[in-house]
């Protein structure tokens, strides 16, 4: 059966392309999503996209994707602060892969803590937009 994977982006990721290019490169969110869609076609899976700067909207998107075959989540700065997003991940059956464009462990110490990592299936960071592609491959190939 065709796997359904939800791609959820958190705050400030709508600004990719111009936002801190030393950390995040110059690829826009639309370009990243185009690459994700191309890989999804290759892997014969379905992807949906959602971005919000609002914590509660991300919680709702996670709940709504709870029955999907997987979620690729870049929670942005909420990674380091949000108990609500962690609880939403823990509450749903879908496996969640935490992704980051930058290698958060090589940056400021406040980015070294992820409140969501303990309830995620795995974590991919440091490969720019490629982090999303690796996460999609991992979820689609998982049993």
Q: Determine whether 100 is an active site residue.
A: yes
Site for ligand DQA in 14-73 (CB under 6 A): none
Q: How far is the CB of 143 from ligand DQA (least distance, A)?
A: 28
Shortest separation between residue 103's beta carbon and ligand DQA, angstroms: 8
Q: Is 78 a catalytic residue?
A: no
* CB contact at 8 A, 97 and 36: no
Instruction: Answer yes or no whether residue 104 interacts with ligand DQA by CB under 6 A.
Output: yes
What is the spatial distance between Cα 42 and Cα 39, in angstroms, rounded to a whole number? 5
Least distance to ligand DQA, CB of residue 53, Å: 10
> Closest Cα partner for 139 from 50, 47, 59, 56?
47
Residue from 23, 35, 78, 100 carrying the catalytic annotation: 100
Of 80 and 137, the one with the shorter C-beta distance to ligand DQA is 80
Q: Using the Cα atoms of residue 42, residue 138, residue 62 and residue 67 in order, give the sign of their dihedral.
A: positive
Distance CA 98, CA 10 (A): 11
Catalytic residues: 24, 100
């Amino acid at each position: 059966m065709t796997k359904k994977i939800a791609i959820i982006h958190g705050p400030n990721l709508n600004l990719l392309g111009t936002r801190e290019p030393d950390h995040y490169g110059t690829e826009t969110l639309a370009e990243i999503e185009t690459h994700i869609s191309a890989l999804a076609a290759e892997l014969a899976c379905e992807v949906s996209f959602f971005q919000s700067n609002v914590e509660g909207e991300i919680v709702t998107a996670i709940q709504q994707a709870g029955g999907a075959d997987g979620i690729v989540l870049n929670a942005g700065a909420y990674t380091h602060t949000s108990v609500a997003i962690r609880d939403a991940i823990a509450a749903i059956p879908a496996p969640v892969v935490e992704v980051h464009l930058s290698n958060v462990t090589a940056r400021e110490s406040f980015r070294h803590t992820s409140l969501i990592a303990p309830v995620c299936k795995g974590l991919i960071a440091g490969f720019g937009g490629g982090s999303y592609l690796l996460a999609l491959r991992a979820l689609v190939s998982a049993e």
